Amino acid sequence: MRRTRDISLTVIAAIFIILEIAALSMLRHSGTIQNMWISRCIHVIQANLWGSGESIRYYFSLKKKNDELAEENFRLSQEVRHYRLAAGETQAMDICTAADTAGRFRYIPATIVKLGNNSQHNYMIIGKGYEDGIEERSGIITAKGVIGVIDAVGKHYSYALSFRNAGISISARIGRTGPVGSLNWDGMTSHGAILSEIPHHIRLTQGDTVFTSGYSSMFPPDIPLGTTSGSRVVNGATYEISVSLFEDFSTLRYVTIVNNTGKKEIEKLEKE
């Protein structure tokens, strides 16, 4: 019974639409004014439909344009790096020039295609693999900090552990010449970290910038990570310092993969 009622309503709606179209057609051919009015309405509808279609196409083209801009920005930063090295500048202001006077690091722009942000073991899928020169144990950085570490590499994609992972630790320094400690995600907030193993005799100033130390074979030195806030003494010997990170992990998309060209030699020496 219900199915019969639905079919009847569908038929009635179809007949109504056909009659409306027929009425409009008759009205259009009944006089110049009516024809002009109907044509104008049709043109307005066509314009709106065309405009909506263009907006949709433009929206979906933004991703491609953003990817192209990211690639271009990376290329320009690399050119600036080479010019600065040629000019003998040792202090750099971007991630691809930081204390890299010997050219020890190779940089590859990449895009995050998937980001896990809801657990203690967050991960990322990077849209480049070994065909693009990505290697395991390479670092992932941006101009605002360290993002993570490449853990496994496929042909076109790579699996990475986010810094917001309980198993990731970074060697970090307070200021450019201050004490070095171990930086870990605080496990609670999206922008919080803990810098530990800082000697108790060090005089601390709230708001100091924390940088990568350069003691890791994965990350170049002097990448800004965040600023210090509160601190507490642990076992009467060392400080644990709260750090507010610069990078907003919830909005990440474009990153840089950094590979230490001498990493294998360093690891070999450490094993021997």
User: Where along the chain do its domains lie?
Assistant: 105-166+250-262, 170-249
**Residue 97 pLDDT:** 45
Q: Give the per-residue SS3 of 55-96.
A: HHHHHHHHHHHHHHHHHHHHHHHHHHHHHHHHCCCCCCCCCC
- Asked whether the beta carbons of 130 and 212 are under 8 A apart, the reply is no
What are the CA-CA distances from residue 89 to residues 14, 68, 70, 235, 261 (Å)? 76, 29, 25, 43, 21
Tokens describing residue 11: 């038929």
Q: Which CATH architecture has domain 105-166+250-262?
A: Beta Barrel (2.40)
The contacts of residue 239 (CB under 8 Å, 6+ apart) are: 195, 196, 198, 199, 200, 202, 204, 231, 232, 233
Superfamily classification of domain 170-249: Rod shape-determining protein MreC, domain 2 (2.40.10.350)
Cβ-based neighbour number of residue 162 at 10 Å: 22
**Residue 259 pLDDT:** 87
pLDDT along the chain (272 residues), means of 10: 58 67 58 54 52 52 55 57 52 46 75 83 90 91 90 92 90 90 89 90 86 88 90 84 90 87 77 76
**Residue 191 pLDDT:** 87
**Residue 183 pLDDT:** 95
105-166+250-262 and 170-249 share one CATH topology? yes
